[in-house]
Structure 1
Amino acid sequence: MKTPSNIFRGATSFLFIVAAWWLVAASGFVSPFLLPPPSTVLATGIETLLDGSLLHHTLVSVRRLVVGYGLAVLLALPLAFLLSASSSLRSILEPMLEFLRQLPPLALMPLLILWLGIGEAQKAGIIILACFFPIFLGVVGGIAQCDPKLVEVGRSCGLTHQEVLRRVVLPASLPSIVIGLRIALGYGWRALVGAELVASSAGLGYMIVDGENLARTDIVLVGIVVIGCLGVLADLGIRALIARTAPWLAARTELRHA
């Protein structure tokens, strides 16, 4: 759990970056076209917020992330449990999954555009590919690390196979599963923004490209700052949810911060 002193130290690093940014911009060594001062970027952020464009692009990106991340969870969790329960099925599917895991999701974007077009399905596909394997590996790794003695104790107490999975294996593997979910959220966010840089008409990635095309570095920086802030808020949201619903789990995952 973060203490006030830890939060202060973390905020200090951001303040240092902003101060260095302001000094470089004010020194005149770098053209304001290439690096506008923080005050200009802040003014642009307020302007885009007031005219509704920033909120629109943000909501589009968040909606895409929620859909793609949710589908990745629905696919990865059952498949991971199936492969963990069946060694024969795992021997069949593991080589193919390992091959797909080595492929960067954005490298598959041209193929997904050909197959799915340039609409929402293509962007959902990119997010699913980015999120699937951290979740899948978190579940598989967590189940593999479950102490066999706990399983034997459960069986000796008369638990059925399903009860052993639900009451013994799943709680023991939850820390790894949660870490996989957290990592996948970050991966999905980065993949989404990359997908929005190409063949998109809305979203924060599109906003950045549009700012580049307009030679508006301030708009580009606004998009970058918003992306980073949303990513941090999403991770903090997951950690707060875990701390509220399962404090014991929060303590274990904090030590293995993703």
Structure 2
Amino acid sequence: MKKIKRETVISVVVVICIFVLWFVSTANAWVDTKLIPSPKQVWKAFLDACKDYKGHSLLQHMGVSMQRLFSAFGLAVITAVPLGLLSGFSKTVRAILEPIIEFYRPLPPLAYYTLLVLALGIDNASKIALLYLACFAPIYVSCVSAVVRVNKDHINSAYTLGANKGQVFFSVIFPSCLPDMFTGLKTSIGVGYSTLVAAEMVAANAGIGWMVLDAKNWLRNDIVFVGIIIMGITGILINVVLGLLEKKLVPWSGKA
């Protein structure tokens, strides 16, 4: 039987302590349950939302949000990875792209969302575009950094052994970049998920982010807690899947 890691036990204990504190503080009226609903209220709201919330079930809200998120994330991967790798190789390409990316990267999503709505309309296109921009920058930056950090001795050794440029790229450079690329992917999906609420603020009638915003407007803090917990758990699961994929594809990650 596989031994459970000490860190895993600590994490589980911390989560249990948080839930116990939540239960005790609401049961003893240490906090106003209108502001912080009890676990029982949140569970009831979860069961109700599974059936229906404003015309859609919780699963349908999640499906709409995941479709937006993964459409944007997929587009970001297939564009940011090659552009990032190319920028790492070419200072000219980097000089062209970096000013644009470094300008918009620190901007809050709502700062330019209005421009996207004006350009693309209020339907899914503007929402996916916002998520795409949020996902693009972390992947691009991690790819550029990965190429720049590749050990030049490894590249020169490959050339010495008679490898051509294609062989050097696919056998030395690309494998060396994969650990940093996966770090960028994890960061990207996290940033994209945190931007999801902003993406669903305008002219949406479904989605987990929209559900949280709508519940806030109606002071349904129990639904707000449901949405936050669901998004947190989903984010953890996505990160776990990417971690397992990294272990499968990049077994040398973290090793000398």
Task: For 1:111, give the aligned amino acid.
Answer: L
Counterpart CA distance in 2 for 1:246 and 1:144 is: 19
What's the offset of the Cα at 1:206? 0.9
SS for the counterpart of 2:252 is helix
Aligned-partner Cα distance in 2 for 1:3–1:137: 35
1:55-110 per-residue CA deviation (whole Å, 9 max, x = no partner) reads 11011111111100001111101111222222222223322332222323332111
- Alpha-carbon distance in structure 2 between the residues aligned to 1:182 and 1:35: 30
Change (3 A) 1:209 1:140: same
Query: CA contact under 8 A between 1:197 and 1:208: conserved in structure 2?
Result: no
CA contact (8 A) 1:45 1:219 kept: yes
Paired letter, 2:81 = L
**TM-score, structure 1 normalization:** 0.91
Which of 227, 230, 234 is 1:226 aligned to?
A: 230
Counterpart CA distance in 2 for 1:61 and 1:8 is 32
| Other-structure match for 1:255 | none
Q: Which blocks of at least 5 consecutive residues in structure 1 are unaligned?
A: 253-258
* Partner secondary structure for residue 248 of structure 1: coil
3-state DSSP of counterpart to 1:118 = coil
Q: TM-score, normalised by structure 2?
A: 0.91
- Which residue of structure 2 aligns with residue 18 of structure 1? 19
2:190 pairs, out of 186, 191, 198, with: 186
Work out the number of aligned pairs and report it: 250
Aligned residue in 2 for 1:153:
157
Match of 1:44 in 2: 45
Deviation at 1:3, TM superposition (A): 4.2
Cα distance, 1:152 vs structure 2: 0.8
- Would you tell me which structure has more helix in proportion to its own residues? 1
Identity of matched residues, %: 36
Partner of 1:256: none
Look up the match of 2:166: 162
User: How far apart, in 2, do the equivalents of 1:245 and 1:175 lie?
Assistant: 9
2:135 maps to what in 1? 131
Give the CA deviation at 1:175.
Answer: 1.1
**Amino acid corresponding to residue 36 of structure 2 in structure 1:** L
Which runs of 5 or more residues in structure 2 are unaligned? none
The verdict on how the C-alpha distance between 1:82 and 1:34 changes in structure 2, with shifts beyond 3 A counting, is same
In structure 2, what is the Cα distance between the partners aligned to 1:120 and 1:181? 23
CA RMSD of aligned residues (A): 1.8
Partner of 2:82: 78
Whole-angstrom distance in 1 between the partners of 2:248 and 2:85? 26
Report the counterpart of residue 204 of structure 2 in structure 1. 200
Deviations 1:3-57 (A, max 9, x none): 4332221111111111111122122243322221101101211222244611110
Amino acid at match of 2:27: A
Q: Distance in 1 between matches of 2:71 and 2:139?
A: 15
On the 8 A contact 1:48/1:54 being kept in 2, the answer is yes
Pick one of 98, 101, 106 that aligns with 2:102.
Answer: 98
Post-superposition offset of 1:243: 2.1
Counterpart for residue 120 of structure 1: 124
CA positional deviation for 1:178: 0.9
Single out whichever of 30-39 and 83-92 deviates more from structure 2: 83-92
Assess if the C-alpha contact under 8 Å between 2:132 and 2:192 holds in 1. Answer: yes
